[in-house]
Amino acid sequence: SCHDGKLWDPRFSSRCVPIPSSMALCHNIGYDTMRIPNLLGHDSPAEAVQQSASWLPLLARECHPDARIFLCSLFAPICLDRFISPCRSLCESVRDSCAPIMSCYGYPWPEILRCDQYPADHLVCISSITNATAYTGARGVPQASCRDCELEEASSPKETLENFCRSDFVVKLRLTRLRYSPVSLSQFSLAAKLDVLKRGSLLGGQIRSRIELWLERDATCVRNMTRQHPRGGTFLVTGTVQGERLVVNKAYAWQREDRSLTAAVRKWKSHRCRN
């Protein structure tokens, strides 16, 4: 991706080629031809395909809605009369959201993608394709968690109650699948009613807003929960409070026939935790 330790300079001849079908990173990106060498200095489509594949796990983490368009603008730049780079703000937004996830697995944000090399927004460049205001200000950019949660079956009522005691919060919620959400990582919305079994340090008015933030920032966890419930459903989630962020560590599908889970919830009102 670099020559003599320096970032590649695209100011020499290039050619337009079809985006290879094997480049999964940029399937259905909105255009079907790319410039080679690309903006990372890859000299052939095969090299671009090979190098781009290493970014697929990050996309699966859903760390930012514009991560794919940012990466494809570099690996498979659109064929116009000139190279169009990503805007600096797009790079910074994706970096700030995705770099913490990369660090979970021991990978730093690469020098080849440093954001100060890209043009400011008032110049010709590729900017965010989502509604930036949805991620700025107090809410911040969405960040997936390092740890996946999985939908699991409740064990005995005793063990479930012990999990409730260890958790900062316990909430029963209903998720409804959205028809279309151009600015949300999550494909589900939160129903009006929440059944809060345990709120911990959270104030009453904070519960809903924090869970809505969790829906956006931990889309991978939500996807795991709803894998067998594609239209949504009712779930019981438990977890910890980390600053303004909720981290769900256990999730159960709420079903009345699940006697262990319903018994634990029924006993919780009068249960006393050991500590």
Distant-in-sequence contacts of 133-139, Cβ < 8 A, 24+ apart: 134/183, 134/184, 135/93, 139/213
**Topology alike, domains 15-132 and 151-270:** no
Q: Is residue 269 packed enough to be buried (19+ CB in 10 Å), middle (13-18) or exposed (0-12)?
A: exposed
Query: Could you tell me if 251 and 228 are in contact, meaning their C-beta atoms sit under 8 angstroms apart?
Result: no
Which DSSP string do the residues of 120-171 spell out, in sequence order? PTTSS-B--SS-GGGTSTTS-S----SS---B-----HHHHHHHHHHSSEEE
The one-letter amino acid code at 84 reads I
User: In CATH, which of 1.10.2000.10, 3.50.4.10, 1.10.150.240, 3.40.50.620 is domain 15-132?
Assistant: 1.10.2000.10
One pLDDT digit (tens) per residue for the chain, 275 residues: 444 434 444 445 689 999 999 999 998 899 999 999 999 999 999 999 999 998 988 887 778 889 999 999 999 999 988 889 999 999 999 998 888 888 777 788 999 999 999 999 878 899 876 654 444 443 455 555 666 677 888 889 999 999 999 999 999 999 998 875 444 446 788 898 899 999 988 887 888 988 988 887 776 788 888 888 988 999 999 998 877 778 888 999 998 888 999 999 999 999 999 87
Query: Could you tell me if 78 and 31 are in contact, meaning their C-beta atoms sit under 8 angstroms apart?
Result: yes
- pTM for the whole thing? 0.57
Query: For 151-270, which CATH class?
Result: mainly beta
CB atoms within 10 A of CB 131: 12
Show me where the domains of the chain are located: 15-132, 151-270
CB atoms within 10 A of CB 26: 22
For the record, the structure tokens of 257 come out as 């026939």
